[in-house]
Amino acid sequence: MITIDDILETNRMITENKLDVRTITMGISLRDCAHPNITQFCQNVYDKITKSAEFLVKTGEEIESEYGIPIIHKRVSVTPIAIAAEACKTDTYVPVAEALDRAAKEVGINFIGGFSALVEKGFTNGDRILLNSIPQALASTSLVCSSVNLGSTKAGINMDCVREMGEIIKRTAELTRDEQAIGCAKLVVFANAPGDNPFMAGAFHGVSEAERVVSVGVSGPGVVKHALEGLKGADFTEVAETIKKTAFKITRVGQLVAREASKRLGVPFGIIDLSLAPTPAVGDSVANVLEEMGLESCGAPGTTAALALLNDAVKKGGLMASSHVGGLSGAFIPVSEDQGMIDAINAGSLSIEKLEAMTCVCSVGLDMIAIEGDTSAATISGIIADEAAIGMINNKTTAVRIIPVPGKKVGDVVEYGGLLGYCPIVPVRNKFSSEAFIARGGRIPAPVRSLTN
């Protein structure tokens, strides 16, 4: 029997600590849409998405209202378009992105993911066409998200793709320069990308997934921070225990929402992504959780250790609360979407280099970081290569979502609005060239899995 205290605690989490379910994402396979004629393919894709996800938003809103828990996003992920569209006789997939955009608008979702290619070992013809289409596709659509997986622990790193992605990110920034390079906020470069991630911009419906699935991404850094506020001076055993218990409670809500959404939509439940996803709202920050552990500002020595503890405890607490866990699962550290991270950048406490170290122990990678627009493609590729190497060697997902904003310099601020937030231009301190390194191309071989020092 629940008690009054339980009821008040849950409602306090929702109203004061910004507890929400971050996303209900429906994964839809497009493998049966293949057609040599791209117009017909686009029609098949549009029809399948609009039919499959017709009631997604309405169902999400009903659950939100019945249980009194905000569900921020309702989204769709699809089979990587490089695979789904490969049979089309065409040299561009931009019309496919436009069809995805139209379908997303028709069903009322706020993002659709899967304009993607999985090229960690090499490119097929479809992969090549997709990569070439990314800048224009992101410029001519508003809801389509793109991702490219270019490295994995089993396959190594595709350095040809690393080189190309530096250039593609620059081109995307240039084509969307009127909107402060927002195209780059919808483009993620991965190593070890999971096929069941419900979070954007990196969501796609993996090739081993079912026909349709519903997955849920939970959130709640504000709730964790509140729980730690009562633990001033307590040792780390107690800190970890408290985070675990809090993560359990948060995840149970996600599991409830996932179960209900799955039942009402008649679509199998996929996974819960156990994530602490911040928003720019005050009090909903992962950086503030780390600071609550005793760091004066996020980025201070000890930050990586604090993040490691947080990430691990969130998983341990969440695992028992859900029947299936997957996706990215861990703490996110996007800069522009986290007021505490922005404050730490402004205070000079947090840098790209420290963020890179933090990505070794957290859920994803360098995320939503605006840099100077004249940063060279080779430097961006170098940053991507470093992140991919961390993922490859440590057998974890890493990613880069970096935004070289044309015309902007350190000291400027770019504003994206909504949950994408705003970001001061973060300096890339090291000005030495990676040009010759990136120009080599080829593949970095897969790493040895023993002798792991």
Partner 1 sequence: MKIVVTIVGKDQVGIIASVSSILADNNVNILNVNQNIMDGFFNMVLIAEMTDDKLKLADLQKLLKEKGEAMRLEIKVQHQDIFNSMHTI
Name the site residues for partner 1 (rule: CB under 8 A): 2-4, 6-11, 62, 65-69, 249, 252-253, 255-256
Nearer to partner 1, 10 or 304 (CB): 10
Tell me how far, at minimum, the Cβ of 396 lies from partner 1, in Å: 29
Nearer to partner 1, 133 or 246 (CB): 246
Give Cβ neighbours of residue 80 (< 8 Å, ≥ 6 apart).
114, 116, 117, 118, 130, 204, 205, 207
Nearer to partner 1, 2 or 451 (CB): 2
Beta bridge partners of 152: 156
Nearer to partner 1, 65 or 346 (CB): 65
User: Helix-strand-coil percent breakdown of the chain, rounded to 5?
Assistant: 45, 20, 35
Tell me how far, at minimum, the Cβ of 6 lies from partner 1, in Å: 4
Nearer to partner 1, 121 or 252 (CB): 252
Tell me how far, at minimum, the Cβ of 8 lies from partner 1, in Å: 7
Nearer to partner 1, 68 or 445 (CB): 68
CB-count exposure of residue 307 (10 Å: 0-12, 13-18, 19+)? buried
Give Cβ neighbours of residue 220 (< 8 Å, ≥ 6 apart).
13, 17, 18, 19, 20, 246, 247, 250, 276
Question: What is the distance between the alpha carbons of residues 336 and 405, in angstroms, rounded to a whole number?
Answer: 13
Tell me how far, at minimum, the Cβ of 320 lies from partner 1, in Å: 8
**Lookup: tokens for 291:** 């600071």
Tell me how far, at minimum, the Cβ of 268 lies from partner 1, in Å: 20
Please name the helix (run of DSSP H) or strand (run of DSSP E) that holds residue 158, with its range, or none: strand 156-158
Please name the helix (run of DSSP H) or strand (run of DSSP E) that holds residue 135, with its range, or none: helix 125-139
Nearer to partner 1, 252 or 316 (CB): 252
Sign of CA dihedral 376, 378, 381, 383: negative
Tell me how far, at minimum, the Cβ of 247 lies from partner 1, in Å: 12
Tell me how far, at minimum, the Cβ of 65 lies from partner 1, in Å: 6
Nearer to partner 1, 186 or 249 (CB): 249
Question: What is the distance between the alpha carbons of residues 178 and 407, in angstroms, rounded to a whole number?
Answer: 10
Contact 292, 284 (CB under 8 A): no
Tell me how far, at minimum, the Cβ of 230 lies from partner 1, in Å: 18
Tell me how far, at minimum, the Cβ of 79 lies from partner 1, in Å: 32
Contact 173, 184 (CB under 8 A): yes
Tell me how far, at minimum, the Cβ of 259 lies from partner 1, in Å: 9
Contact 157, 120 (CB under 8 A): yes
Pairing of strands 71-78, 21-28: parallel
Beta bridge partners of 157: 151, 444
**Alpha helix (H) residue ranges in 300-371:** 303-319, 339-346, 352-358
Nearer to partner 1, 8 or 282 (CB): 8
Tell me how far, at minimum, the Cβ of 72 lies from partner 1, in Å: 16
Nearer to partner 1, 70 or 294 (CB): 70
Tell me how far, at minimum, the Cβ of 16 lies from partner 1, in Å: 13
Question: What is the distance between the alpha carbons of residues 395 and 194, in angstroms, rounded to a whole number?
Answer: 12
DSSP string, 279-303: -SSTT--HHHHHHHTT-SSTTSTTH
Question: What is the distance between the alpha carbons of residues 378 and 369, in angstroms, rounded to a whole number?
Answer: 17
Q: Which of 289, 408, 432 is nearest to 358 (CA)?
A: 289
Nearer to partner 1, 253 or 388 (CB): 253
Q: Which of 80, 79, 23, 26 is nearest to 52 (CA)?
A: 26
Nearer to partner 1, 126 or 217 (CB): 217
**Lookup: tokens for 159:** 């350095």
